[in-house]
Each structure stands twice: as structure tokens, then as C-alpha cells.
Amino acid sequence: MSTNVRHVNHDLSPMRCPVSLEDVDLFADGSQEHWYEAYEILHRSEPVYRIEGGGISAGSDAFVLTRHDDVTTVVRDPSRFRVVSTMRVRELADRGLTPEEAYATTRNLMQASMVSLRPTQELYFQHRRELTDPWVGVGALRHREMITRHANELLDEWIDDDQVEFISRFARPLPQRVMADVLGFPRQDVTLLADWGDALVMPFVHGSGLKHELTSEQAHEMGRRLEGFQDYIYEHVVAKRADPQDDMISFLCDVTYDALGRKLTDIEIAGIVHAMVLGGLETTQYALEEQAQLLCEHPGMFEQLRIDRTKLRSFTEEALRLRAPTHGLSTRVTTRDEAFHGVLVPAGSLLHLRFAAANVDGDEFPCPFDLDLDRKGIGRHVTFSTGPRVCPGATLSRLEQQIAWGVLLDRLDSIDYGDGNDWMHQPGIMLGTLKLNIRVRKSSNPLSAGTGRSSIA
Ligand code: HEM
């Protein structure tokens, strides 16, 4: 029987629901089941939450920021609140290491490649404007037809079924196929790309604590699973230098990077590809999966959006706010003593920015837990962060979400929760269930023939 209500079996969770500050632990096993209850407690009692000894250097502390004004203050000012990855790249650059030497030291392709490309905040802007924006930022609109085709092909596979496992049959493969096409990898290699993507996000799924740390066994496993990734990219770089196509890797092989007045080297290109695969797969998967859940939980909303597509953008933005895929990241360090809501945060402290908590801060969003399609300033959430380091792939992800729902709304009459859900979340810092069975009703009167066109804002 289909239902609009989640019957979460909390006995399956290793953690009890917190009722007071003493119970709050955002990083414990099973904490994902109760994050939103914890945010209400933190907003009320401890919006600047100290984790003793949790900092980067020995003896320093970490602070979890949950208020919208605190999180935005931090991300808008990278000179006052340094970005951890930029600090690491700067250290490697100051040691005079080449990207290849940096890679030998760190085994982190993304950071190593940045040693020559963007060790400063100024170069970060240029890097982004010249190298990634044309494909996943403002230039992402070029992918509209391609994304629409993939969404329709995936839906074709199960539209006649009564029930579908939505993650494996739609939310997961869509961003994988899209990213393979953006980069210029052949369709038959999507499973390889998916495996590498899973390996790259291991710290965010299997890492522990606020620094997402892997055990040495897990780190070894991650390295093993990534074997072949770099060589695979290099093979494509060689092929595309010889025979350029209309894709991002061909573009990166050819472009002259103005900031340095030269073309990119193989390792520099590989670092950008690494960043796209790391950032561009699971995040959008979770967004789509949680959006499906919100539609199941709000009777009538699917029908409302079907009739009035002008509300679709409000829906995806509200869903991003209410169910942020990336709940928090420990990516900033204070350069001087700071005070947040009267709490002293010494220079050199690590800041864990809790984007998802900031999104349900009642001081910023009235009735924060309501999904309100008429909310004023609907894009003020910080799901993609904000300010100069805002997620570079936000435009691509938003486009994928709007096209995906445009196609689903065109060709389905309704979706509801199906049988066999337990709604348990995966571990780690991202919000996503492990499976999601939904019941679907194919439309006898499909709209716009599955183009999703009426939906794109
Ligand atoms: C719903 C989907 C997504 C969410 C929720 C998300 C969220 C975020 C957040 C919160 C950050 C940190 C920003 C900061 O430190 O201030 C980030 C950074 C990043 N994202 Fe996304 N992202 C998404 C999709 C994507 C996509 C589709 C791509 C690639 C096409 C991507 C690539 C990246 C990269 C490369 C960074 C690091 C940028 C840097 O070095 O500062 N993301 N993202």
C-alpha cells in the first residue's frame, strides 16, 4: 500500500534522539537520523559549539557553527577565515614543489595540481572563471539537451513498473552519466567513473569525526580503489590532444590559462577532473533522492508542480535548503581571535560550518521546517555555501535537478512512497538514504513530450 508517511524504525539506529545538549553528538554513528533535532537544540542552547582538541594543530579546538549569520560571515571572508585546502596548497607551493612532487608527497591529485594553478585566493577566481565555469558554472546551460536525454532514457527503463528503487535507477546514474558526458568519457566507462567517484568520497561517507578521518586501512583501501584513475585520465588527455571533441577535457587540453599565459599540463588537467568527479556525483544524487521524499511527504505537491512549473525552481531550492546534501564541512581556520554570539574563538581554531543547520535557522527563515514555495529570498540557503568559494558546480547541479523533475513531472501522474523502505541514512557527513522505493503512476497524458522544457527557470 502506498503512503505519504515515513515510518522510520529508530530501533535500527545506534543512536537515540537527543533531547538536551548533553545528548548532542553530530558525528556519532547513527547521528544522521537525528541531525535536525540536534540543530534545534544547538540553535537554542549552543550555536557555537566547541569541540575540545578538535583543531588542526595540537591542543587547538574546533568550533561547530550552526547559525546562518555566522556561517555566511565566515565563508564571505577568506582572508580572515582561511580555507584549509588553500593553506595546504600554499604550504606545498612555498616548499617549491612541482605538482608531481606535491602528488608524491600528498597522494592528493586535486591539491597537488593546484600548486601551480591556484595557490592564492586571487588565482582561485581566475581558475574558476577560465577553467571550470565554462563547463559546470555559467556554461552549464549548454548541457540542457544532453541532461534531458539521459533523464528520459533512465525513466524509459521503469516508467511501466509499479514500483522503482529510485536511487539506483535514477538519482545515482543521472549525475554519473551527465558527468561522463561533460568530461568526454565514453558511455561504457560510466561504471568505472562511478567506482572512482565512490572511492573519492570515502572520507565523507566512511570518515570519522569532524575531520572525516579515515583509518590507515580505509585510506589504503581508498588508494587501491583509485588505482588506474590517473592513468585513465592521462589516456584521455593524450587522445583528446590528438583529436579534440566537444567536451571539458578537450577544452582543458587546448585552453591558454591567462593567469599563467600557458596551456595546462597533464597533471593540472587531471586535478580538475578529480575535483569534478569528487564534487559532481553523489551530491546531486542526494538532492534528487531527498526531493523525491519531500514530494512523497507533501500530498498534492507533485500535481501542483505538474500544473504550475513556475514553482519548480522554488521547490528545488526549498528542498536544497531543507535537506542539504552536504550537512557540514570543516574547511576554515580563524586567522585572529574572533567572537561568534559572544563566544571567543581563538586564532588558529578549526571551524566546522554546518550548512544544513544554518538553513533551518529560525532567525533567518521563518517557520524553517516548512516547505514553502512562496518563501521570500528562496535562494538564501547555504547548501552550496556562498561567497567567493561557493560551489563551482552549483549551476550544473541545479540544472540537473530542474530538468530531472521537469521530465518526471511531464511523464508521471504521481509518486508515493513504495513498500520496503526503512529510511535509514548512510553514514558520514552527507544526507542520503541507502535506498528509496517509490510507487509511480505513468501519465496517460504526458506533457511537453518529456522535454521538461516548461520547467527550466
Ligand atoms: C547538490 C549538489 C552539490 C552540493 C550540495 C555541493 C556543495 C558544495 C559545498 C558546500 C562546497 C564547499 C564550498 C565552500 O567551501 O565554501 C562545495 C565545493 C565544491 N564543489 Fe560542490 N556541491 C554540489 C554539486 C557539485 C557539482 C555538480 C560539482 C562539479 C561539477 C561540484 C564541485 C565542487 C568543487 C570542485 C568544490 C571545491 C571548490 C574549492 O576548491 O573551493 N559540486 N560544494
Which of 141-155, 223-237, 434-448 has the weakest average pLDDT? 434-448
Average pLDDT over residues 329-342: 97
Q: Is the Cβ atom of 75 under 6 angstroms away from ligand 1?
A: yes
Task: Say yes or no: CB of residue 355 within 6 Å of ligand 1.
Answer: yes
Tell me which residue has its CA closest to atom 15 in ligand 1: 389
Does position 266 have pLDDT exceeding 70, yes or no? yes
132 CA closest ligand 1 atom index? 30
Please tell me the distance between residue 207's alpha carbon and the centre of ligand 1 in angstroms. Answer: 18
Q: Is the CB of 305 under 6 A from ligand 1?
A: no
Please report the pLDDT score of residue 124 as a whole number: 85
What percent of the chain is predicted at pLDDT more than 70? 96
Q: Among 254, 236, 379, which residue's Cα sits nearest to residue 321?
A: 379
CA of 84 to the centre of ligand 1 (A): 15
Task: Report pLDDT for 453.
Answer: 52
What is the average per-residue pLDDT within 105-111? 89
- The answer to pTM > 0.75 is yes
- Does the CB atom of residue 356 touch ligand 1 within 6 A? no
Q: Ligand 1 in contact with 143 (CB < 6 A)?
A: no
Confidence of residue 359 (pLDDT cuts 50, 70, 90): very high
pLDDT 10s digits, 11-36: 777 788 999 999 999 999 999 999 99
Any atom of ligand 1 within 6 Å of the Cβ of 326: yes
Q: What is the mean pLDDT of residues 59-63?
A: 96
**Angle at the Cα of 29 (from 23 to 33), degrees rounded to 5?**
70
Q: What is the mean pLDDT of residues 272-290?
A: 97
Is the CB–ligand 1 distance for residue 325 below 6 Å?
A: yes
Q: Give the mean pLDDT of 201-225.
A: 94
Out of 135, 249, 384, 430, mutate this one to test ligand 1's pocket (max ligand atoms within 8 Å of CB): namely: 384
Q: Is 207 in the pocket of ligand 1 (CB under 6 A)?
A: no
In the chain the domains, ranked by start, together with CATH numbers, are 10-455 (1.10.630.10)
Nearest-atom number in ligand 1 for the CA of 286 is 1
